Amino acid sequence: MELLCIQSQEHPELPLAELVAVMECENIQAEIDQVCEGLVILKNISQDNLMDYYNILTKRLGYTHEVHELIMKSNTQTLDSDVSEVDWSHYIDETFAVRVKRIHSQVDTVGEERRLGTLILDNCDDIKVNLSKPKSLIRVAAFGDDLFIGIERIKLNKKHFEESKPHKRPFFYPGSMNPKLARCMVNLSRIKAGELLLDPFCGTGGILIEAGLIGCKLVGSDIYWKMKNGTAINLDYYGITDYRTFNLDVRELKMYEKVASVVTDPPYGISTSTGDVDGEEIFKEFFYAIYDNMKDDAYLCMASPHYVDLKPMVDEVGFEIVEQYGIKMHRSLTRIISVIRKKPY
C-alpha cells in the first residue's frame, strides 16, 4: 500500500523534513520516494497500518497539503488501459469527482479530469459524477506526463492555517509566527501526543496552540505578564485545556517534570526579554537554562537570526545541531530554524 502526499512548495526543504520527523517520532514504517519538490510517495506500507498512518499524517502535518491513498500510477499515454484494470467500486461510493493538480506538468487539467471521469464511469456501474459534493474524491497529481491517482480517505484541514493566523486570534501582538511554520517546528521537535512541550518565550502562544491541537501537554512562560496572560486567552479560545503558563525569566525556569521537547521563537532583540544581558550571550544562557529541564535525547527546535552562530554555544552546553533550514525574511535577515538534540551526560 502507498500514500500520496502533495506538499507545499513554499520552502525547498521544510515540507519533506517535517514529514520525516513525524514518521520518525510516530514510528511510521514506510519508504519515502520524493518524486519532485511538492510530491512524495510513501511506499511499502502494510494494509493493517495504512489508515493509522493516514490519520496521524493528516492530523499533524503543516507543510503537506493533501494525503491520499494511492490507487495507481499511470501516464497520459496508457491511462485508458490502466483505468480498465482497477476495480473502482472498491474506491467510489455512489458519487465522485476527479481533480487534477499539476506539479511541473503541462497537462490539460480540465481535459484530463473529464477523460479520467469518463473512463471510470465506463468501468464501474451504479456511480455518478457530482462535482459539487462528491462522496468520493479522486485526486490526480500530474508530474510531466506521469499521473499519480489517489483517493481521499481523510480530509486534511487546510483551512485551519488560514483561520488561525495571528491577527485572527483574540489576543494579538505584532511579529507573531505564522501557524504553518509553528506546526512544522513542533513536528521537527519529534514530540508525540501526551508528551510535555515547553515554549519559554511563548509570546501570544502560537507554537503552543499548534502543539496543543496535536494533543501535547503544554508549558509556556514569558517575562512579560501581558504575553503570559494573552497566551492563556488564545489557548482557551482553541479549546486547549492541558496547559500551564508562567510569568518569569527563562533563566529562573525550574520544571517539576522534564519536558520531551522545547519549541520556541526567541525575540531577535532577545535582550529585551531578559532585561540585563546583551548580544549573543543571552542565547548561551538560554541553552544552559533549559538543558536540565529537558529529558535526555529530547529535541529543541528554535528560530534565530542568521548572524548568530549557535554551534559553539550548543557544543559548550551539551547539545548538538541535527538540522538547520534558512527562511529568507527580507534582504537583511534570514531566519534559521535549528533542530537541536540534547546529549545526555
Q: For residue range 112-137, what is the model confidence (pLDDT) as tens digits?
A: 999 999 999 999 988 999 999 999 99
Indicate the pTM of the whole model: 0.94
Residue 308 has pLDDT above 50, yes or no: yes
Residue 11 CA: distances (Å) to CA of 61, 78, 180, 237, 274:
14, 33, 12, 30, 32
Q: What are the contacts of 239-245 at 24+ separation with CB within 8 A?
A: 240/208, 240/209, 240/212, 240/213, 242/212, 242/216, 242/217, 242/218, 243/208, 243/212, 243/217, 243/218, 243/219, 244/218, 244/219, 244/220, 245/202, 245/219, 245/220, 245/221
In terms of Cα–Cα distance, which of 176, 172, 127, 175 is closest to 151?
127
- In percent, the amount of the chain with pLDDT more than 70 equals 96
Helix (H, G, I), strand (E, B) or coil at 172: coil
Residue-averaged pLDDT of the chain: 94
The pLDDT value recorded for residue 279 is 58
Residue 332 has pLDDT above 90, yes or no: no
- pLDDT average, residue stretch 334-343: 96
Gap between the Cα atoms of 11 and 8, Å rounded: 7
CB-CB contact of 322 with 339 (8 Å): yes
Helix, strand, coil percent values for the chain (each to nearest 5): 35, 30, 35
The pLDDT value recorded for residue 272 is 45
In terms of Cα–Cα distance, which of 259, 145, 280 is closest to 200?
259
The pLDDT value recorded for residue 278 is 54
Taking the CA atoms of 170, 226, 293 and 273 in sequence, report the sign of the dihedral they define: positive
Lowest mean pLDDT among 77-91, 130-144, 190-204, 279-293: 279-293
Gap between the Cα atoms of 117 and 322, Å rounded: 46
CB-CB contact of 154 with 55 (8 Å): yes
Q: For residues 76 and 333, which has the higher predicted lDDT (pLDDT)?
A: 76
Residue 104 has pLDDT above 70, yes or no: yes
CB-CB contact of 223 with 249 (8 Å): yes
The pLDDT value recorded for residue 267 is 84
Q: What are phi and psi of 43, to 5 degrees?
A: -110, 165
Confidence of residue 277 (pLDDT cuts 50, 70, 90): low
- pLDDT average, residue stretch 284-293: 94
